[in-house]
Structure 1
Amino acid sequence: MSCRKGYQLFVREANVSGILWRPATRNQSTAASIAVREKLENELAGIKKAGTWKNERIITSQQDVAIKVQGSEKSILNFCANNYLGLSNHPKVVQAGIDALKSHGAGLSSVRFICGTQDIHKELEDKISRFHERDDTILYASCFDANAGLFEQLCGPQDVILSDELNHASIIDGIRLCKAKKYRYKHKDMKDLEAKLAESETDGIRLIVTDGVFSMDGNVCPLPQIKELADKYGALIFLDECHATGFLGPTGRGTEQLFGMEGSVDIINSTLGKALGGAAGGYTTGPKPLIDLLRQRSRPYLFSNSLPPPVVASASQVFTMLMEDSSFVKRIISNTERFRSKMTGAGFTISGDNHPISPVMLGDAKLASDFADAMLQEGIYVIGFSYPVVPKGNARIRVQISSAHTEEDIDRTVDAFIRVGKNLGVI
């Protein structure tokens, strides 16, 4: 074992009198570095060989329906963003961020409970609570942080968590941090969930945990059946609404509204970084005692800097727009139906429910990567998803529809899919 003291590398040795630290020789330090480098390079070579290497294409413009990509002179149609409502660069949203930058500064240089809470943070939390019709809301730097901060504080050794097997990675990581008894039920399988509810007798809390919409497949959780089981077994329901808030349901209130079940879920976590301005940030909304407890004990909240004022103001502007106008939601529903019906008619297999996440299933990882590269040559920005992001053998192009896309954009993209699909023997 080694450590650094100042700029000198030391190694630890055991002897009869205890632990000694002595300076490492350059050869020892170099040999260790070489061994680690070789291990990492072998791992990376394996990823490339498997065809699952993920290149980051560099965008040189704003996030929008049409973007500029480094290495391409022409404008590229973007069908691979979580910008569901097309508001990431909406003039009102951008101006709200600029105004907050001028009035409230670039950042707080602190965490919330020390000197990092401004009036606009409280205003946004109040607005989110009204949007979801909940008691109170707590902001986080991301929804990953919101998921990491919740379960450890809510559930202890006497409690039970039942989680869908395809939940977000951040949910899985958050659950790992707590000491509750953990059950994983088969994806959307209500018979398996009930069996595990029956098995998990407890005097404590039972918490059913699920994504509202599962991001890799674009399918929606069976909330009516989950609610029925929750009532039968005295369980609470947690919903991650990252791929639902703002655009699912007639006025964008999410999975509850889609099923006409407003107020049926106990705790909602969601993000500001997708439909709601696209910058950063997440939140938990629910009962006031829970939110108060999270303010006191949630580690990602207590030890992370406050959300920057421009992010807060931009998201707040989006909520204002959504509460005044549902036309954004109507457009994304229409665009989604147009894309899915035309692609299915052309012979492609589209996974999921009638959701803007529209995965074009291809199976093979290398095929998905080659397909995405060919689509870029057609002027369409999409990305191939493969293991470990999705299970082996389930590689796909995950197309994401926006309310800002026009019918012409949809039709042009479908035509490109058809050309590439024929060239690569997919259809």
Structure 2
Amino acid sequence: MEHKEVPAYPLERTASVAAGTSEAMNTDPLARLRTAAATREAAGLRRALRPRTPDHDGLVDLASNDYLGLARDERLVAAAVRATERWGTGSTGSRLVTGTTMLHAELEERLLSFARAQRALVFSSGYLANLAAVATLGAGGLVVSDEGNHASIIDACRLSRARVAVTPHKDVEAVEKALANRTEEHALVVTDAVFSVDGDRAPIRDLYAAAVRHGALLVVDEAHSLGVVGERGRGAVDEAGLAEAPTIVRTITLSKSLGSQGGAVLGASEVVETLIDTGRAFIFDTGLAPSAVAAALAALDIVVDHPDLPRQARDNASALARAAAERGLPTTDPAAAVVPVVLGPPDVALSAAAVFAKHGVRAGCFRPPSVPSGRSCLRLTARANLSSDDLAVIGRALTAVAEMKVNV
């Protein structure tokens, strides 16, 4: 069973190709791309790159994943500059050749200490951390994946060449059944800790118990929970009291709460050594740039020294959700910093994003295939450093969207 992704209006075959005529061999090879683009345009699913200014064009930022407001913090910037001056602009090679600096080793030590893990392995992105963990550890076995998991997990499942069982969202009983009925020697359960659009949290303790009963590893993607959830922002696995469980593997990103770039896998020594020896997404990728490593180290210092930051991000997320609900806009009680406002059709979500911008707020606009059909939404991401003035501006933008919905 494949993940329940909404079709992304793929490149349709022309009628002549489908009919197998010789004319198909002479058609313009770009014609199918134009046809597919026109189909996406009609469905309201075209995307565009919109370069922003350093201050988000003067808009209140509710679109980025800068949950703790550290991406432009002068301490991170200064650390990145110092690292660039000392190490240069790039890591110069893969981690196994020249791409591991003393900074990389220090970051891995700091991450395992902060997250209370046995070992840590830094990647150049959180996406690659997921690819490596799931595709490598799940290869040749069974991978049980929540239907709401992030695209990087879905891609990792496909690359694993494992049998993949996709279970309904947060359905522990379905996970248990898939594990109990397997014929494969080994199995892996994978889930987001906090789901990236709906912002809800996985039942980690129950999933862990199911995995233990059936001798499976549990991989938890903490991209949207590290720095926001749990004591000092140590994440959802730590909050569940399972940080030291040897059969849990955590993947994280450095590009959200830590305001930098990159990712990491946290787990037992056996896990990290396997990824170093056989993980293609690790072996064949250039190491993370020293500037990004140094920025992440500086961010960890700040998170440790300011344990109130995660709570501030969560409190602001709750304030956003309350403001939306008070105006009759459909949302959910946030588990971390993500607050969705579900609007339905793609064109309504696009119009709402434009209304937000007109009222001084930049919001994320999510449409298929990022979300299921009929659930296009504004994704509001709270930051720890949102001010009362910011919240007032956001309130006015939400009022305008509520009035827009009434008139649609």
Matches within 5 A, 1:232-251: 232-251=213-232
Matches within 5 A, 1:61-210: 61=54, 67-69=55-57, 75-157=58-140, 159-202=141-184, 204-210=185-191
Count of residue correspondences: 384
Matches within 5 A, 1:194-343: 194-202=176-184, 204-264=185-245, 266-277=248-259, 279-343=260-324
Of 372, 396, 403, which residue of structure 2 is paired with 1:415?
A: 396
TM-score normalised per structure 1: 0.85
SS of structure 1 residue aligned to 2:379: strand
CA distance in 1, matches of 2:394, 2:170: 31
Aligned residue in 2 for 1:392: 373
CA distance in 2, matches of 1:36, 1:274: 39
Return 5+ residue gaps in structure 1 as ranges.
1-30, 62-66, 70-74
1:44 aligns with 2:44: no
SS of structure 2 residue aligned to 1:310: helix
Aligned residue in 1 for 2:48: 55
CA distance in 2, matches of 1:426, 1:403: 34
Deviation of the 1:426 alpha carbon: 7.0
Deviation of the 1:56 alpha carbon: 2.6
SS of structure 1 residue aligned to 2:198: coil
CA distance in 1, matches of 2:151, 2:372: 13
Measured against aligned partners, the alpha-carbon deviations of 1:355-392 in whole angstroms (never above 9, x if no partner) come to 31100011111000011112111111113211111111
Q: For the structure 1 residues 205 and 426, does the alpha-carbon distance in structure 2 shift closer, same or farther, using more than 3 Å as the test?
A: farther
Does structure 2 retain, via aligned residues, the 8 Å contact 1:79–1:381? yes
Deviation of the 1:271 alpha carbon: 0.6
TM-score normalised per structure 2: 0.89
Q: Give the aligned residue type for 1:306.
A: G
SS of structure 2 residue aligned to 1:110: coil
SS of structure 1 residue aligned to 2:233: coil
What is the percent sequence identity of the aligned residues? 27
Which segment is superposed worse, 140-149 or 86-95?
A: 140-149
CA distance in 2, matches of 1:161, 1:101: 40
Q: For the structure 1 residues 160 and 352, does the alpha-carbon distance in structure 2 shift closer, same or farther, using more than 3 Å as the test?
A: farther
Does structure 1 retain, via aligned residues, the 8 Å contact 2:80–2:294? yes
CA distance in 2, matches of 1:346, 1:371: 14
CA distance in 2, matches of 1:312, 1:226: 32
Aligned residue in 2 for 1:375: 356
Q: Give the aligned residue type for 1:409.
A: D
Deviation of the 1:137 alpha carbon: 1.2
Greater Rg by CA? 1
Does structure 2 retain, via aligned residues, the 8 Å contact 1:256–1:263? no
Return 5+ residue gaps in structure 2 as ranges.
1-24
Does structure 1 retain, via aligned residues, the 8 Å contact 2:188–2:219? yes
Does structure 2 retain, via aligned residues, the 8 Å contact 1:250–1:330? no
Which segment is superposed worse, 373-382 or 293-302?
A: 293-302
Q: For the structure 1 residues 151 and 361, does the alpha-carbon distance in structure 2 shift closer, same or farther, using more than 3 Å as the test?
A: closer
SS of structure 1 residue aligned to 2:97: helix
Q: For the structure 1 residues 68 and 154, does the alpha-carbon distance in structure 2 shift closer, same or farther, using more than 3 Å as the test?
A: closer
Which segment is superposed worse, 217-226 or 192-201?
A: 192-201
Does structure 1 retain, via aligned residues, the 8 Å contact 2:355–2:397? no
CA distance in 2, matches of 1:398, 1:122: 35
Larger relative contact order, structure 1 or 2 (CA cutoff 8 Å, min sep 6): 2
Q: Give the aligned residue type for 2:88.
A: G
Aligned alpha-carbon RMSD (Å): 1.9
Deviation of the 1:153 alpha carbon: 2.7
Does structure 2 retain, via aligned residues, the 8 Å contact 1:335–1:407? no
Q: Give the aligned residue type for 1:349.
A: P
Instruction: Please list every run of at least 4 consecutive aligned residues from structure 1 whose deviation after the TM superposition is greater than 4 angstroms.
Output: none
CA distance in 1, matches of 2:174, 2:138: 22
Q: Give the aligned residue type for 2:179.
A: L
CA distance in 1, matches of 2:195, 2:170: 10
Measured against aligned partners, the alpha-carbon deviations of 1:204-243 in whole angstroms (never above 9, x if no partner) come to 3221111101101101001122122223223221101111
Deviation of the 1:408 alpha carbon: 2.2
Does structure 2 retain, via aligned residues, the 8 Å contact 1:352–1:359? no
Aligned residue in 1 for 2:345: 364
Q: Give the aligned residue type for 1:328.
A: L
CA distance in 1, matches of 2:327, 2:384: 23
SS of structure 2 residue aligned to 1:217: coil
CA distance in 2, matches of 1:373, 1:93: 32
Deviation of the 1:350 alpha carbon: 0.6
Deviation of the 1:247 alpha carbon: 1.3
CA distance in 1, matches of 2:212, 2:151: 27
